[in-house]
Amino acid sequence: MSEEQTKHELDVVEIQKILPHRYPMLLVDRVVDFVPGEKVVAKKNVSVNEAFFQGHFPGNPVMPGVLIVEAMAQAGAIALLTKPEFQGKTAYFGGMNKVKFRQMVRPGDTLRLEVTLDKIRGNAGLGHGTAYVDDKRVCSGDLTFMIG
């Protein structure tokens, strides 16, 4: 495949055709590049209006780490669910391993989510995700996916 054939972008309306998530759980705003079954680069705009900031933490808003990992998993699910054999199915988060948090994510930040799918066997997949704010790595880890 040429570079032109492998580069894709998706807006939030197109993302909602792939993922079943909706507010407040849809954590991917845009896909800037992806190759079905291989990789995805997506963005999440972190707004002070996110419901979780009401309690995490008042006066010191920090995006919960578990939601950063969920955003990476949702991005990875887009790469998985755009493979022809998985279109129209649901990807479930099967597990995470070696997750590390390196920096806080705050309102006004834009998360860049990069996920590569390393292995897909049957209805399961393994991948690696990294989340960045600007060019600083804020989170990374291995992700397991199950197709339902």
Q: How confident is the model at residue 7 (pLDDT cuts 50, 70, 90)?
A: low
DSSP character for 103?
S
**What is the structure's pLDDT at 4?**
45
Residue 104: pLDDT over 90: yes
Per annotation, catalytic residue among 8, 21, 56, 128: 56
- DSSP characters over 42-93: EEEE--TT-GGGGTS-TTS----HHHHHHHHHHHHHHHHHTSGGGTT--EEE
CATH code at 41? 3.10.129.10
Interval 103-128 mean pLDDT: 97
Is 108 exposed, middle or buried (CB count within 10 Å of its CB: 0-12, 13-18, 19+)? Answer: exposed
Instruction: Determine the pLDDT at residue 8.
Output: 86
Model pLDDT, residue 1: 37
Domain count of the chain?
A: 1
Average pLDDT of the chain is: 94
Question: Average pLDDT for residues 9-27, to the nearest whole number?
Answer: 97
According to DSSP, the β-strands at 30-35 and 39-45 are antiparallel
Give the mean pLDDT of 115-135. Answer: 96
User: Which whole number is the average pLDDT over 121-140?
Assistant: 96
The stretch 102-117 carries a mean pLDDT of 98
Residues 6+ apart with CB under 8 A from 68: 101, 105, 111, 131, 138, 139
Our answer to whether residue 56 is catalytic in this structure is: yes
Partnered with residue 120 across adjacent β-strands are 125
pLDDT at 2: 39
For 129, the domain range is 3-147
Three-state DSSP class for residue 17: helix
